[in-house]
Amino acid sequence: MKTRFKPHIVAMRRYQTSTGRDLVEGLRLDRNERVCNASNSVLDALWKEMPPSILHVTPDMGVLYEAIADHEGVPRDHL
């Protein structure tokens, strides 16, 4: 059967994110989650630095993909 994905993608081991967790009162240690909430001063500072469009635009991922490909020593189209 022909697949639309590249073989190295199909061969990757998949990880499922935890489901049904209590994100308000529970301990968050899954992947890149903080274990405590950010302070209001940090959030205020972040909002002051972000443009109003930040909530409704898709970021340009090209620079990130190039950096990952260079770091991993693989062609960009293998990501």
What does the alpha-carbon distance between residue 9 and residue 78 come to, in Å, rounded to a whole number? 8
- The pLDDT value recorded for residue 17 is 65
Residue 28 CA: distances (Å) to CA of 7, 13, 24, 37, 53: 34, 23, 9, 10, 29
Quick: pLDDT tens for 46-56: 989 988 888 78
What does the alpha-carbon distance between residue 28 and residue 21 come to, in Å, rounded to a whole number? 9
The predicted model scores a pTM of 0.35
Mean pLDDT of 18-33: 70
Q: What is the residue-averaged pLDDT of the chain?
A: 82
